[in-house]
Amino acid sequence: MPVLHNRISNEELRARMLAETEPRTTISFYKYFTIADPKATRDNLYKAFTELNVFGRVYLAHEGINAQISVPQSKVEAFRTLLYGFDPALDGLRLNIALDDDGKSFWVLRMKVRDRIVADGIDDPTFNASDVGEYLKAAEVNAMLDDPDAVFIDMRNHYEYEVGHFENALEIPADTFREQLPKAVEMMQEHKDKKIVMYCTGGIRCEKASAWMRHNGFNKVWHIEGGIIEYARKAREQGLPVRFVGKNFVFDERMGERISDDVIAHCHQCGAPCDSHTNCKNDGCHLLFIQCPTCAEKFQGCCSELCRDESALPEEEQRRRRAGRENGNKIFNKSRGRLNTVLGIPDPQ
């Protein structure tokens, strides 16, 4: 039986990826369709993707597939042929090609079976995830942005919205999609007669959110085809104004794609204009937060003086301090005054 997982350390795998000379293309895709046996599908796809030297993160469930990957440029067409021929439901599937891509987004292939391809918290047997809102293409998005009867809803997490969003889009403040869905229904009650336009990074969350809104009695619901990635690509190709402001957060090593030159966020440590996310370098923390170059130097890539000092300790002492530590939420949320929940550090601002 072949090995269907990795047995090499992350450090070595990353070093191998960085040593590659052939450029890679970062691609994301998803599809809601019925997978009768996700485990068997996972094993077959893993072997096929490995043969093409594909890296990335792939989730499968009975409800479909969700993937963010990188493919050697010389094998992109072979990958497309493989995917389209793997299952009739995947034939012709839209592949979102990264906008701001250095090809260093992933260095290993991780493929997992989950209960859902997007954790939504929905436990309603009458919910029909296929009853989605209407798709909007780039030109239609711009027209909707100018329609006073339309309300744009950002279905991404608060830290994604913070660095970039569509003009005048409403934020549904939450750390997770699961938390957002009921909040969106509640917040939009006063706009029930308006046109509701939902969007997310690549389309997977807003597609399900549009179905959830329809399930909850909203009749005029749209969502952006291919999300921010596809919108920006098509708008540029068609010479249309790009109405997304700032950076599009992505869930790989890049942590963001530049859409416009606007920097609308601020360093979480000093308040200077900045939209570069990082993870705290302290192995006992790894908090996701925004840090400017000056603070990165001052705190040596850490979120606080305490983390900086702890990361400089001998490894044995670091392990001793980490033992039994409650990790909590590893995402900075300024609105809740939370900079380092792991170490209990207060917001310095």
Q: Point out the residues that are catalytic.
A: 200
Calpha distance 177→182 (Å, rounded): 9
Calpha distance 278→281 (Å, rounded): 9
**Residues 79/52, Cβ–Cβ less than 8 Å:** yes
Calpha distance 340→335 (Å, rounded): 13
Instruction: Map residue 234 onto helix, strand or coil.
Output: helix
Tokens coding 170: 């409403």
**Residues 23/105, Cβ–Cβ less than 8 Å:** no
Half-sphere exposure of 41 (CA within 13 A, CB side): 21
Spatial CA neighbour of 310 closest among 272, 337, 283: 283
Q: Which residue spans within the chain are E strands per DSSP?
A: 24-32, 55-61, 64-72, 96-97, 109-113, 134-136, 150-154, 164-166, 170-171, 195-199, 221-224, 244-248, 257-258, 277-279, 288-290, 338-340, 345-346
- Please tell me what DSSP assigns to residue 348: -
Residues 6+ apart with CB under 8 A from 88: none
- Describe the chain by its helix, strand, coil percentages, rounded to 5: 35, 20, 45
Tokens coding 126: 């009458």
Question: What backbone phi and psi angles, to 5 degrees, belong to 219?
Answer: -100, -25
Tokens coding 283: 């192995």
